[in-house]
Structure 1
Amino acid sequence: MDTKELREIISRGEKIDVEFKRRRSSQDLNDTDLVKNAACLANGEGGLLIVGVEDDGAITGCASFHPKSGSTDPRRIEALIAHQTIPALPTTAEVHTLESKEILCISVPKADSPVATSKGVYQRRALRIDGKPECVAMDPSYLFSRYNSVNARDWAKLEALGASFDDLAPDEFELFRRMVRQQGGDDVLAQLSDEEIARALGFFNDDPDPVKNGAILLFGTRRSIERWVPNHEIILQVMDGSEIKVNKQIRSPLLSAMKEVAERLDIYRTEEEINSGLLRIAVPNLPERVTREAVANALVHRDYTALGAVRIVLDLHNLNVTSPGGLPRGVTLDTLLSASTPRSPALADAFKRAGLVDRAGRGIQVMYRILLSAGRAAPDYSATTDETVSVEVPVSGSNLEFARFVTTWQSKKSELEVLELRLLHLIHTEGRLTLDEIANLLNGTPIRIRRTLNHLADASLIDVIGRGGSREFRLGSGFYDIVGRRPDFIRSQVMNDVRAEQLILAYLGEYGSITRAQAAETCGLTGQAAYRILRSLYERGEIVKKGQTRNTHYVLP
């Protein structure tokens, strides 16, 4: 890291991955506190520990950690941290000089396994209510969850100590069989006995403690759930403005809980019908498949070692589902659509074999596809933190024109991919956008987005304006043809041509002549589009063509 980069980091202030520490003297930050802060960063996202900077970013300097040598030795700092952390934490330390003062910078990697100080302190980086970062203690449930995740231990397959098959309810096994038959699950399981089902799912074996946590959660009696899975709870609320119409606490086994939530939400399902030629399109406010996936994901992927309930809140505009535990290890907000890493593979497999969720692990893609095809916004996971997963599903505000386009296109052409739907919906909503704007709004990879945009342009669903980095994308003629608004596309095209002509004439008035390349750069057009505009002006006598081939340029009459 160079001095300029360090200054820029300090100027942006403390972040979840940047910590400032004062050390005007040896009394401000001792070795123990230094190690504690490094371990804290490692238990979060990793980052930079910068010593010699105040909380407000003022540079006050780092008093020497090794006064006998007259300065701070970075190698000894690295050795100190590695020696006083369990497991040993590798770091990279550097000393920089800013404003004639020494600054100690320690680069801390993100740790897979929880890191403690040699004195047994476990801390992690978190955000306070005011949005500022701090180090907080790891409570036992969080620590246990991280340990299980790192070591690939499936909580659902751990022993429910002291439980027997009598703690499971025959009615829940029968409900599982009914779901298999109705939802198109693994029909082999529907033919098995209760014990055979539990064994097939990996929740019962011949160990001294044969019943596993997953069996209690799926098939347990209410009493056994309270005994072995006390954190399991669902709170379902239906709001009418600020008034609570429904406030239900559910502590049933998972399958019964799914059934009860679905039945209570069924009351509020409505449909809006639109016509597209001979097609009649039903646009539901609460698509059953979407709500099922959202609730199932919350129940399957929540952290059952963490305190807190799964909360399902329906209001006039959104269905919000929140579950404790944060995203499973290896999954981020950027990889939600592509990653399939359940916190409990055994529970996820049980739901798939019951037919409750997508068997290919593409449940979130299914949610995106259904909502976007209905002209709704995509599910919103932006409120997710490292402690909770939150998804907001829109239940109002459907764009019926977009829904009509998707249905018509897919009935006549081919099914649109999820990214194609997202791009078309975004441009339909926002209008003309650049590649950078699109990538930023979708949190996507520019290369993949550009490839998909080019594919849509080939199908005339997207129109490309300009070239290079100035290119913009808007809906193409194919889209307007489908929705019956071709005049709007032609009108917008004419308006763009008029603007380009005005820019070319202004350029000629200022500089006297213009080439095709200069016209393309001035108007943000491709060379071919610029040539079309220049030819139109020339044919109308508004400009004069001079020269030939490479020397061709245009002037005013």
Structure 2
Amino acid sequence: MKRIESMKENSLYDKKSIRSITGKTADFSEIAKDAVAFSNAQGGTLEIGLEDWETEPNPEQRITQELITKLENKISGLTTGVIATGELCTYKNGGQTIKYKILRNPNTVASTTSGKLFVRVGDNSVPVSGDDVVRLVADKSGFSWEDQVTKYVWQDADEVKLHDVLTRLRTSDRVSDFCKDKTDRELLAYFFLIAEDSDYMTNLGVLFIGNQTQRGRITNAPNLQCIKYDEYGEKVNKWLWADYTKSPIEIIDEVWNDIPEWKESQEISDELQRRNIPAYDKDIIRELVCNALAHRPYTIRGDIFLNIHPQYIEITNPGRLPLGVTPDNILHRSRKRNEHMTALLYALHYMEKEGSGFDKIYEILLQNGKQLPIVKEGDDFVTVRVDRRVIKAEVANFMKYVSEHYHLRQKQTICLGLIAQYESLTARELEKYLELEDSDALMAWIQPLLKNEMVVSASVRGRGVEYRVNPNILQGSEYKGKTSLKRIEDYRLKELILEDLKLYQCASLADIQTRIGSEISERRIKYQLSKLIEEGIVEKVGSYRWTKYQLVSED
């Protein structure tokens, strides 16, 4: 038995009442639905014996082995393709629950015996139907393209590429000493470049260590086209990696080294000096190309397109995002599509660890005073756009000052950069930009900044609370941004409202906002008006959309 603490429901964990498997309220079909959803995603745990609001079970609650066996047998009979086991867990208060652990099924699509499909998205189990069934099947590795064994033995691979990959793996700090001590053949098998029980290369092996002929004869080996456009949308230059001579890591290196546009920069003022912000940071270009190569579905044909426009670049990959990942949650959702290629690129220092690639892109763009990337998903493609222009030089200088004087984690750097760029943001707006589900999730991003007094909050309740950079930090960095009323203090805002009502006597919220400063959020003005009403200084006239405000008569 394990003594544990309860978790928060998410894509890998869900709570269920003990009544869901006992008594007249037992509903094993609901448990089966969740088991199928977890199996079709990344696996997960159903903890049975906790209500949604509970962090620990009733101290008197006891679980028998017979109940665990009944659960396992019932779900086995109601599902196909689900691999799961139940485990008895005891909390510190003595109460017991069942940890029902569902493994990700890497080979087949799980379903209920009635033929229904589900997948885990966030903290919900959602049905799969229509075109999404095809995506789910494609995302499964029952046919794992990268693991398919070819007819080429590794001894006939490209000697230069083979030596390069083996050398990089043996010198990488991301590869354990245990692996480095393996023979060449064992090391190649460990990273799935060859079959475990033979000398034949897999598709993945041919991509990385094969020769041109071998690479050209495997199905759907990746090609990349980089096209430059002028301001009229006309093609002015083109680079191709379409002759199968290069491995993925060689393509990644050459995309950066061979295209001169990446070396361009924008000059901004930094106090008495000038500094150059790169048009496109090296880490961003590498991350975009790596993601395109590692996360595309190799079951379909199509080239990768990297298009360079005067003010932005966009990279377009064939296929859609993995089921459960959307443009609105890509910062936090990670679904493995070609997990062995991802692991190899990570070991070779071409990719960040799983789930942190877009975090890195966010961090670099915000540090350079640029806009966040834009992700679009079409019927058969995914496009990521990154803008070239520095939209706020003063923010870039401020973030440089912060990096030199403070040691922030990546989450806090991203959060601070967003607030600095927009001058102030409400909790709701931050949740939207950071693709967070609720205010609890936001706390991990904002709380350390508040604790260290790098960010201050305006006195607005709930998710309408506004955050802005501490004026003392801005002053210390010699911030040269334009004067803005977005950062106005509450007592000054209240005085502005009173002055406006003295002049215009009876006015709507929209009119007050227009006159005192359109950049001040409506929520902040409304909050200060409500405080003035509580203090008996201002009163409402009318209701709903006809509501106006006026000073209380002194008579």
| CA displacement 1:15-64 (0-9 Å, x = unmatched) | xxxxxxxxxxxxxxxxxxxxxxxxxxxxx99xxxxxxxxxxxxxxxxxxx
Query: What percentage of residue pairs aligned between the two structures are identical?
Result: 18
Aligned to 1:216: 206
1:477/1:486 contact within 8 Å kept = no
Distance 1:245 1:268, change over 3 A: farther
Matched, 1:225 2:215: yes
Distance in 1 (alpha carbons) for counterparts of 2:409 and 2:159: 44
Letter in 2 for 1:156: E
SS at match of 2:259: helix
| CA displacement 1:297-331 (0-9 Å, x = unmatched) | 11111111111111111222222122223223554
Distance in 2 (alpha carbons) for counterparts of 1:206 and 1:257: 27
2:320/2:378 contact within 8 Å kept = yes
Aligned to 1:262: 256
TM-score calculated relative to the size of structure 2: 0.60
The within-5 A match list for 1:264-303 is: 264-272=258-266, 274=268, 276=270, 282-303=276-297
Matched, 1:157 2:141: no
The within-5 A match list for 1:143-182 is: 145-148=138-141, 151=142, 154-160=144-150, 162-165=151-154, 167-176=156-165
Distance 1:254 1:523, change over 3 A: closer
SS at match of 1:211: strand
Q: Which runs of 5+ in 2 are unaligned?
A: 1-39, 42-79, 81-109, 121-127, 508-522, 538-551
| CA displacement 1:171-192 (0-9 Å, x = unmatched) | 2123335656998664968898
Aligned to 2:403: 410
Aligned to 1:484: 479
Distance in 1 (alpha carbons) for counterparts of 2:409 and 2:456: 13
Aligned to 1:41: none
Distance in 1 (alpha carbons) for counterparts of 2:389 and 2:446: 28
1:480/1:488 contact within 8 Å kept = no
Distance 1:509 1:392, change over 3 A: closer
The within-5 A match list for 1:178-257 is: 186=175, 195-205=185-195, 207=197, 210-241=200-231, 242-250=233-241, 251=244, 252-257=246-251
SS at match of 2:257: helix
Aligned to 2:527: 524
Letter in 2 for 1:342: K
The within-5 A match list for 1:68-467 is: 90=114, 110=118, 124-125=130-131, 145-148=138-141, 151=142, 154-160=144-150, 162-165=151-154, 167-176=156-165, 186=175, 195-205=185-195, 207=197, 210-241=200-231, 242-250=233-241, 251=244, 252-272=246-266, 274=268, 276=270, 282-359=276-353, 362-381=356-375, 383-385=376-378, 387-418=380-411, 420-447=412-439, 448-449=441-442, 452-453=445-446, 455-458=448-451, 459-467=453-461
More displaced stretch, 399-408 vs 500-509:
500-509
- Return the match for 1:496 from 489, 493, 496: 493
2:315/2:384 contact within 8 Å kept = yes
How many pairs does the alignment contain? Answer: 405
Deviation at 1:470, TM superposition (A): 5.2
Distance in 2 (alpha carbons) for counterparts of 1:467 and 1:256: 53
Letter in 1 for 2:158: A
SS at match of 2:306: strand
Aligned-residue CA RMSD in angstroms?
4.6
Deviation at 1:486, TM superposition (A): 9.3
| CA displacement 1:486-507 (0-9 Å, x = unmatched) | 9947994475243233478699
| CA displacement 1:178-235 (0-9 Å, x = unmatched) | 6569986649688987645423322224535732111011111121112113342111
More displaced stretch, 408-417 vs 426-435:
426-435
Distance 1:449 1:478, change over 3 A: farther
Deviation at 1:164, TM superposition (A): 2.2
Distance in 1 (alpha carbons) for counterparts of 2:409 and 2:211: 45
Q: Which runs of 5+ in 1 are unaligned?
A: 1-43, 46-81, 92-107, 113-121, 127-136, 511-519, 538-553
1:480/1:489 contact within 8 Å kept = no
Deviation at 1:417, TM superposition (A): 3.4
2:394/2:480 contact within 8 Å kept = no
1:157/1:202 contact within 8 Å kept = yes
Q: Which has the larger radius of gyration?
A: 1
TM-score calculated relative to the size of structure 1: 0.60
Aligned to 2:554: 556
SS at match of 2:262: coil
